[in-house]
Amino acid sequence: MDFSTFLQQLVNGISLGSMYALIAIGYTMVYGTLRLINFAHGDIMMVGAFFVYLASSMGLPFPLAVLAGITGSVLVGIMTDKIAYKPLREAPKISLLITAIGISFFLENLFNVLFGGVPKAFPAPEYLTTSFKLGEVILPLMVIVIPIVTVLILGGVLWVLYKTKYGMAIRALAFDIPTVKLMGVNADYIISIVFGLGSALAAVGGIFYAISYPSIDPLMGIIVGLKAFAAAVLGGIGSVTGAVLGGFILGFTEIFVVAMFPDLGGYKDAFAFFFLIFVLLLRPTGIMGEDLDRGRF
Amino acid sequence: MLKVENLEVYYGVIAAVRGIDLHVEKNNIVTLIGANGAGKTSTLNALVNSIKKKGKVTANRVDITKLPTHKVIQDGIALVPEGRRIFVNLTVDENLRMGAFNNERFEVLKEEMYQQFPRLSGKKEQMGGTLSGGEQQMLAIARALMSEPRLLMLDEPSLGLAPKIIGELFETITELKKKITILLVEQNAFAALKIADYGYVLENGSITLEGNATDLLGNDEVRKKYLGG
C-alpha cells in the first residue's frame, strides 16, 4: 500500500469510526444507567435518517430536515423508554432485553409498512456530497465533516456529563438509582435525558451514514447498530470515552482489512466481530471498562 | 411534625411491618430501636415510598402517603440510607451538590457543611468511594442536610463504625436537633436512647414499647434485651 492509499484509507477509517462512535455512545449511556442493552438503539439511527427523508420530501430545506430528523429520533427514543422500558424498571433485566429486541423488530417493520422495503435515495444536498483532491488523495467533504462534528459532539457530551448538574445526576444514576431519588431527583426525568441524548447522537450518526452511502432502508440500522454495540463493548460498556475509542478501532479495522486484503472484503463484518472476541478474551471488561457493577462514564 | 398511622409493609406474603403508629414532635430526636430484621429499615423506606406500603403518613399536616420518593424529599424530608450509599464515583463536592439538586442555595450550603464537617473540607475533590467509613457517614448526613430538610431520618448511622467515631457522630446528631427534627433508627439502643427525647421499640414488625427515652433507658425489659443487662 503506497502512502496516498494509506492516507485515503486513514480518513475513511476515521469517518466510519466516527459514525460507530456516535451510535455507540447511546448504547453505553443507556447500559450505564439502566443496565439495559438497548437493541432498538440501532433502529433509532434508521428512524433519524427516515425522518430527514420525510421532512425533505415535504419540501423542507436540508438543515431544517436534519433538525426534524434529530427531533423525531429523540421523541421516538424517549417514547420507547416511557412506553416499553419504564413499566419494567423493577422487572428482571432479561425482560428488558427481550422487550428491547421486540421494539427493534417493531420499528423495523413499522417503517417497512410506512415507507416500503425498497431502498430510497437519501436527499443529501450537493454541497455535502462534493469531493476535492489533495495530491493523489480524493477526499469527499463528508470525510472531513464527520470527524469534526463527532469530536465537537463528544466534547459536548463530556461537558454535559461532567459540568452540568444533570450530567452529574446521570453519573450518580449509573451507580445507584434509589439513592438518586432520595436526593429529590425525578430519576425518570434523568433517564429520559439519557435516552434523548443517545437518540440525538444516533440520529446524527444515521444521517452521516445516509449521506455517505446515499440510500436508506428500514433495516439499515441492524448491522450498523450491532457494530456500534460491538464498539461500545470493545471500549468498555458504560464508558463514553471507551465507546468512542471502540468506534474508531472498529472503523479502522474494517477499512484496513478491506484495503490490505481486498479478497477478504466480504468478511469485513466477520473480522470486526472476531476482533471484538479477541479483545474480550484478553480484557473481559473492554478497553476502558472497569467495574461493571459500578457503572462509569 | 410527622405522624404515621397503621403503617404496614409486606414483602410478598411476609409482613415486615404490622400496622405501627409513630409520632415525631418538632425539634425532637425520636428513635426507633430494635434487633436486626425487626422492620426498622422497612419502616423508613416505606415512609419515603422507596417500597410499597399501607397506612397513612402526614408531615406538617400534609398527607404524603402517596407521593413519589422525590416529591417526599422535596417536601422537606431527608433520609440517610442504611449503609450510607455515598455516590462512590462522584467527588465529595459533587455528592453534596447532588443533595441540593433542587436547591439553588447550594454554594452557601456547601460552605456551611464544610464548616460543620471539617474533616470533609480537605477532601472536596476526592472520590466518595475513597473516604473512610466515618467520613462517608458524615458525608451522607451532610448530603442529606443539603436539601435543608425539616425532618432528617437516619438509618443505622453507627453501623460498622469504631466506638470513638460513633461518639463523634452522635454529638453531631445532638447538635442538629437545635435546627431540625430527627427520626433515628438504631441497633445501638444505648447510644440512641441517650441522645433521644422519645423512643419506640420495634419487635417483629410491631411496636412493643414506647416512652420517654430516659424511661426506656431505665426499663428492665429494654435493659435485658437491648442494653446487655
Q: How many domains does chain A have?
A: 1
B82-139 residue pLDDT tens? 999 999 999 999 999 999 999 999 999 999 999 999 999 999 999 999 999 999 999 9
- Residues on chain A touching B87 (C-beta within 8 angstroms): 171-172, 175-176, 179
Interface test with B, best of A177, A179, A188, A193 (most B CBs within 10 A): A179
Tell me the Cα Rg of chain B.
Answer: 17
Q: Is A164 on the interface with B (CB under 8 A)?
A: no
SS3 assignment, position B160 = coil
What CATH number does residue B117 fall under? Answer: 3.40.50.300
Window 182-201 of A, Cβ < 8 Å to B: 182-187
Tens of pLDDT, residue by residue, chain A (297 residues) = 688 888 888 888 999 999 999 999 999 999 999 999 999 999 999 999 999 999 999 999 999 999 999 999 999 999 999 999 999 998 999 999 999 999 999 999 999 999 999 999 999 998 988 888 888 788 889 998 999 999 999 999 999 999 999 999 999 998 899 999 999 999 999 999 999 999 999 999 999 999 998 899 999 999 999 999 999 999 998 889 999 999 999 999 899 888 888 888 888 888 888 888 888 898 888 888 765 555 445
8 Å CB contact of A171 and B90: yes
Window 186-205 of B, Cβ < 8 Å to A: none
Burial of residue B23 (number of CB atoms within 10 Å: 0-12, 13-18, 19+): middle
A290, part of any domain: no
- Residues on chain B touching A186 (C-beta within 8 angstroms): 68, 70
User: Which of B85, B88, B94 comes nearest A294 by C-beta?
Assistant: B88
- Residues on chain A touching B102 (C-beta within 8 angstroms): 184-185
- Residues on chain B touching A187 (C-beta within 8 angstroms): 70
- The candidate with the shortest Cα–Cα distance to B147, out of B225, B74, B198, is B74
Q: Is B1 on the interface with A (CB under 8 A)?
A: no
Tell me the Cα Rg of chain A.
Answer: 19
User: Which of A178, A184, A295 comes nearest B101 by C-beta?
Assistant: A184
Specify whether the CB–CB gap between B98 and B143 falls below 8 A. yes
What pTM value is reported for the model? 0.91
For A183, name the nearest residue in chain B, comparing CA atoms only: B99
State which residues form the domain around A185.
3-282
State which residues form the domain around B129.
2-226
A297, part of any domain: no
B5 CA: distance to closest CA in chain A (Å): 22
Q: How many domains does chain B have?
A: 1
- Residues on chain A touching B79 (C-beta within 8 angstroms): 182
8 Å CB contact of B98 and A176: no
Determine the Cα–Cα distance for residues A281 and A273; give it in Å rounded to an integer.
12
- Residues on chain B touching A296 (C-beta within 8 angstroms): 89
Interface test with A, best of B50, B73, B101, B130 (most A CBs within 10 A): B101
What CATH number does residue A202 fall under? Answer: 1.10.3470
Specify whether the CB–CB gap between A182 and A158 falls below 8 A. no
- Residues on chain A touching B50 (C-beta within 8 angstroms): 178, 181-182
A124, part of any domain: yes
Average pLDDT along chain B:
94
- The candidate with the shortest Cα–Cα distance to A247, out of A5, A16, A7, is A16
Average pLDDT over residues B178-207: 94
A55, part of any domain: yes
Specify whether the CB–CB gap between A42 and A104 falls below 8 A. yes
Rounded to 5 degrees, what are φ and ψ at A216? -130, 150
Total CB pairs under 8 A between chain A and B: 68
B10 pairs with which residues across the strands?
B15
SS3 assignment, position B154 = strand
Per the structure block, which three cell numbers stand in for A274? 472476531
User: Which of B81, B97, B143 comes nearest A168 by C-beta?
Assistant: B97
Interface test with A, best of B67, B87, B145, B147 (most A CBs within 10 A): B87
SS3 assignment, position A40 = coil
